Amino acid sequence: MKPSFPVTRDTERRARVLITPEGIALPLTIASRGSRAGALMLDITFIVSGLIIFHLLLFWIAGGLFESALAGLEPPTGALEFLQIMLVLLVFSTWYGYFLVQELGPRGATLGKRLVGIRVAARGGGRLTAEAVIARNLLRDIEVFYPLVFILVLLASNSVEEDITTLAWAATIWFALFLLFPFFNRDALRAGDIIAGTWVVESTRVKLGDVLSTKGAAAARGASAVTGARYEFGEPELAIYGEKELQTLERMLRDASPEALAAVQDTICRKIGWNPGAGDERAFLEAFYAKLRAKLESDMRFGKRKADKFS
Amino acid sequence: MNSPRISSWFGRGAIAAPADIASATLRSDKFRIEREGEWRRLEAIITRMERGGLRRIEDDDLLALPTLYRTAASSLAVARETSLDSATLTYLEALVQRAWFQVYGPRQGFARWLRAFLLGGWSRAVREIWLDICIALFVMVAGAVVGWLLVAQDENWYYRLVPGGLADTRVPGATREQLLATLASEESAVGLSSFAAQLFSNNSAVSILAFALGFAFGIPSLLLLVHNMAVLGALLWLFDGQGLVVELAAWLSVHGTTELFGILLAGAAGLHIGRTMAFPGSRSVLDAAGEAGQRGAVVMVGVVIMMIIAAFLEAFPRQLVDGTGPRFLIGGAMLTFWLAYFVLYRPAQPEEASR
């Protein structure tokens, strides 16, 4: 099985197979570490900017309360105290609730994850439970924020040339281990994923492409719209290419430019010993695609598969 | 493949009619055209489910969902053996994956989970980590004793252990009156509720830290417990010097029975994860860690709730109620309540919650 996009070695390394209860093998792709970091940065940006906007709004509406309290003129009033409590609770619940509520939703992803196109899933194909989502989010602080704080403190004290104690170094290195945890395992699990039994996978969303064999020269009685010619191919001409080339051709037919199609026609004609014409590339390729696919699929039904032109 | 999502935000595109089946040359394409309608219906249902939960789905669609899912799954299996159309194959793979996430997705909303949690899930999880609670309790007592002994030997330890904020008048050499004053109640409740909110936020962060550190085989969690309790031990020593240890215990017990219990549970949950990862038994380390982590997460949600209660107790009753007796009464009642809830409250486990 080859996906329709160029397979790099990286995506191949991240491919996993999940067996559903129906016994269907579903391919999954582990989210790359870069996209996860990007999603986290997006999420933090949303949280922080949301909180800042909320605070600004609050100051704009109830600014007078804070001014009199800051000037120390009078003891804090009930209204001010209420606001302070609301703020503390709001910050706390935003910090933890943002991730929890969204990852428990039907999409299993925060806004940042959705934008990047990844989601949380239970490792090994079970249900994603509330406990798992809670567990993976409780560890985020020590994995990401404490290390960053420690590294920043270290950099700051380094720049003012203070002595850095060995304890600070040790703590920073120790926390950095958590930060770098996803680089130490194959599935890019962070510590929170390990204790929650989850992983983060790419959530695919694919539009169904058109049926190629009903259009143009590929159709049953189809002929070239330009010349009216019908292309026929013999057994030896169709025996050259395999599935990989067929699917490359499919991709070209779906979205390549006419110039690219001309180049492909040229290559194919040389390979099968034809004289390439000009101006009717699309019809030629459509007909060749339909015939080649018909042959490979009928071979497939007899259990004969040809992966590519070398096999 | 990650297609750009922005286009999908602006309404659903019109669904194209399936191509004419008679003009298809290939058997695999006929197969696809025959089933395409069902795939697209499944996709539409899934998209609606992803967007807004189950409520917006009509009953017909909901009833058809399992059948449609199985049809799509078997279509995928057939297509893999008969079709070389990569557009169909990638579409079906993505569709079955999305449908799988919905069909086997989380079955209960947050509200129902919270109910099951309060009515038995929490106390069950606490009972399941009893061994870790015993270890953590031992470590905490040991930490308090160590704090006491260290300060008793050398007063300088007091300044190292106790943070500056606590050590205003509560320093070695303080008079009995000064120490008593720190235990007195406030005149009015002004400012106490925001104090409570601060306490809650701070204490929850500390207990989440204690839990999260358990990942490193539990040792940092235990160190954190020892450090916190050593401070308590040092305070006890200081007040003991003036014969005020009972008064201090009463003052602490109001919120301490809840707060220290919460910290104990957080440390124990962290230790549970660390211990399970170090000794996974016959399971793989990852499986064991996952199981322990989910159990620990349940305990931790409870700890956050306990921290809310502790903060309120610390801000209001402790600062407003005077006298050793009433203070012990409140603290003791809370401790009794927690012990009864965790040990005696054992409702039958519902079938569904056991997954």
What's the token pair of residue A240? Answer: 């050259």
A122 lies in the same domain as A255: no
A202·B2 Cβ contact <8 A: yes
Point out the residue among B82, B94, B290 whose CB comes nearest to the CB of A206: B94
Lowest mean pLDDT segment, chosen from A214-223, B73-82, B217-226: A214-223
> Using one digit for the tens of pLDDT, what is the confidence trace for B101-140?
888 776 666 677 788 888 888 899 899 889 999 999 999 9
Looking at the structure, tell me whether residues A123 and A260 fall in a common domain: no
Q: Are residues A80 and A198 in the same domain?
A: yes
Q: Give the residue from A163, A178, A202 where a domain finishes.
A: A202
> Which residues in chain A have Cβ-Cβ distances shorter than 8 Å to B88?
208-209
Last residue of a domain, one of A149, A172, A202: A202
- Please write the tens of the pLDDT for every residue from A230-251: 777 777 777 788 888 888 888 8
- Whether the CA torsion A192, A198, A201, A203 is positive or negative: it is negative
Could you give the number of structural domains in chain A? Answer: 2
In a domain, A89, yes or no: yes
Cβ contact, residue pair A194, B76, below 8 Å: no
Chain B 115-174, residues with CB within 8 Å of chain A CB atoms: none
Contacts of B212 in chain A (CB under 8 A): 138-139, 141-143
CA distance A215 to A224: 11
* Residue B16 scores a pLDDT above 60: no
Residue B220 has pLDDT above 60, yes or no: yes
Nearest CA in chain B to A222: B23
Is the residue at A255 inside a domain?
yes
Q: What is the pLDDT of residue A70?
A: 63
Chain A positions touching B297 (Cβ under 8 A) are: 131-132, 134-135, 138, 196
* Least CB–CB distance from A20: residue in B23, B85, B100: B100
Give Cα separations from A180 to A45, A63, A116, A198 (angstroms). 21, 43, 21, 18
Residue A292 lies in a domain: yes
Q: Is residue A175 part of a domain?
A: no
The verdict on A243 and A296 lying in the same domain is yes
Least confidently predicted of A107-121, A155-169, A253-267, B218-232: A155-169
Whole-angstrom distance, CA of residue A288 vs CA of residue A275: 14
pLDDT for the residue numbered B137: 92
Q: In this complex, which of A22, A121, A128 lies closest to B73 when CB atoms are compared? A: A22
Is position A45 within any domain?
A: yes
Q: Are A246 and A198 members of one domain?
A: no
Residues from chain B that touch A197, judged by Cβ atoms under 8 A, are 286-287, 289-291, 293-294
B104 closest CA partner among A128, A18, A118: A128
Across chain A, what does the average pLDDT equal? 79
- Selected residue with higher pLDDT from B187 and B198: B198
| Closest chain B CA to residue A128 | B106
Residues A20, A128, single domain; the answer is yes
Range in A37-46, B193-202, B248-257, B331-340 the model is least confident about: B193-202
Of the partner residues B40, B87, B97, the one whose CB lies closest to the CB of residue A209:
B87
A53 and A192 belong to one structural domain: yes
Q: pLDDT at position B145, please?
A: 92
Write down which residue in A154, A177, A202 finishes a domain.
A202
Residues A36 and A133 placed together within one structural domain of the fold: yes
**Chain A positions in Cβ-Cβ contact with residue B201 (cut-off 8 Å):** 88-89, 91-92
- The verdict on A55 and A123 lying in the same domain is yes
Confidence of residue B212 (pLDDT cuts 50, 70, 90): confident
Distance CA A53, CA A243 (A): 55
Q: Is the pLDDT of residue A222 over 70?
A: no
- Measured between beta carbons, which residues in chain B are less than 8 angstroms from residue A65? none
- Write down the pLDDT at residue B12: 46
ipTM confidence = 0.79
In chain A, the residue whose alpha carbon lies closest to the alpha carbon of B80 is A1
pLDDT of A141 reads 76
| Interval A118-143 mean pLDDT | 83
pTM for the predicted model, two decimal places:
0.77
Smallest CA–CA distance, residue A206 to chain B, in Å, is 5
Task: Report the chain A residue with the minimal C-alpha distance to residue B266.
Answer: A138
* Segment A65-98, tens digit of pLDDT: 666 666 655 555 667 777 777 787 888 888 888 9
H or E stretch at A84: helix A78-104
A99 contact residues in B (CB cutoff 8 A): none
Nearest CB to A88 within list B29, B40, B197:
B197
Interface residue B2 vs chain A (CB under 8 A): yes
Q: List the single residue in B with minimal CA-CA distance to A191.
A: B215
Residue A162 in any domain: the answer is no
Instruction: Quote the mean pLDDT of chain B.
Output: 80
Least confident among A4-13, A132-141, B204-213, B273-282: A4-13
How far, in whole angstroms, is CA B100 from its chain's centroid? 26
A99-126 pLDDT per residue, tens: 888 888 888 889 999 999 999 988 877 7
Interface of B with A in 37-66 (CB under 8 A): 39-40, 49-51, 53
Q: Are residues A127 and A232 in the same domain?
A: no
DSSP, residue by residue, A114-172: HHHTEEEEEGGG----HHHHHHHHHTHIIIIIHHHHHHHHHHHHHHTTPPPPHHHHHHH
pLDDT, one tens digit per residue, over B160-171 is 777 665 556 677
Tell me which range, A170-184, B130-144, B250-264, is most confidently predicted by mean pLDDT: B130-144
Domain co-membership, A130 together with A81: yes
SS3 (DSSP) at A28: strand
The candidate with the shortest Cα–Cα distance to B267, out of B235, B226, B317, B324, is B226
Domain extent at residue A30: 12-139+188-202
Do B25 and A196 count as a contact with CB atoms less than 8 A apart? no
Same domain, yes or no, for A194 and A221? no
Does residue A151 sit within a domain? no
Is the pLDDT confidence value at B32 over 80?
yes
